[in-house]
Structure 1
Amino acid sequence: MTIDGVAGAVRTGGRRAGGALARVRAATAQAHEDLDGGLDVLHRPWGAEEHRRWLELNLGLLDPLEESLRRWAAADPGVLDVAERARAGMARADLLALGVPPREVAAVPACPHVPVPTTRAQALGVCYVLDGSTLGGKLIRSAVVAAGVPEQACTSLTGRPGAGRRWRETTAAVDALGGAGEEAVREAAATATAVFAAYRRWLAPLAGRPA
């Protein structure tokens, strides 16, 4: 996942003041700030080794999170296309493009503790974080390519074309949760907060602190 630089993009995604999206954004603000502040991605040296570590850690999170979304979507197709949003396969391709041997890509560990959505509101909480991260990923992609990382090893930072459209779809779906009641809004916010926390713990090596 690419988190640094997302905060501004996520905060400007709100619709009506006091709506479901605004409440989810407010409820997750501290967890989001904690993650961004610890990584400070755009202000660190970046080369092939740093990029490899970034991709491996993000793959370890994307894999189980996207699998949980696929299981949810099989039972409730809902309003979002989870296959279009998938980036774990792109992260694997990025590692291969960076020259990492296939056996080592296949051995990248998955984070054992990620939220598993069982409702649409919870799934939207996961998408809120993952889709928001692709907006900051555009900034990170530009920075790391400028630092000499091959562009073909950076595809997972932003995902497939249409990141802005997907983010608008996600924020609209989160905002629509207001019609399902306050419990749905709380579920989305709690799940998004848990995803931010999982990223903060798993990406701790990049922040130079213990997990």
Structure 2
Amino acid sequence: MIKVRPLTGDDLARVLPDVARLRIEVFRAWPYLYEGDLAYEERYLQSYRESEQAIVVGAFDGARLVGAATGTPMEDHVEDFARAFEDTGYPVDEIFYCAESVLLPAYRGQGVGHAFFDQREAHARALGRRFAAFCGVVRPNDHPDRPEGYVPLDGFWRRRGYRPLAGALAEFSWKDIGEAEQTAKPMQFWIRKLEP
């Protein structure tokens, strides 16, 4: 049976190496096609170690971490995202950033994705945040690596109350599997208002 629980402080710091490995494994699949790099992961995840208001929601099968969702106040990522929110009317200090959700395929379809959002949104409300947001990579429908029958998560996100935020695009660069160089990918922000 999977147990899902929020982790902060020392508990959060302890699971970050496992979160890094999960990110590399899960994000290798479509649509991210991420050629993982543990050194990069360690640098990227450092912001969660440094933020007193960060959260990792862990999904455990016994003692093994099989999934994780992360989140921090949007200000922790303001350098990356400030431009994306410039003309949206949403102040970054009112937004909680639900950074990523990664879950091994064998554990999907059991409600863990909802638990990930429930716990991050509860954490955001406790911090006084009015909005929750995340971003997802945008790939062309005719991309040669798109699996046949692929169903995007848009329906799940919409059922959670999230909507794409018009004009709120960021860019991230990473190396796709088999590529020699990093390339920039567009990332679309989705947002929802958090009811008290």
**TM-score normalised by structure 2 residue count:** 0.29
Higher RCO (CA-CA < 8 Å; seq separation 6+): 1
**TM-score normalised by structure 1 residue count:** 0.28
User: Which of the two has greater strand per residue?
Assistant: 2
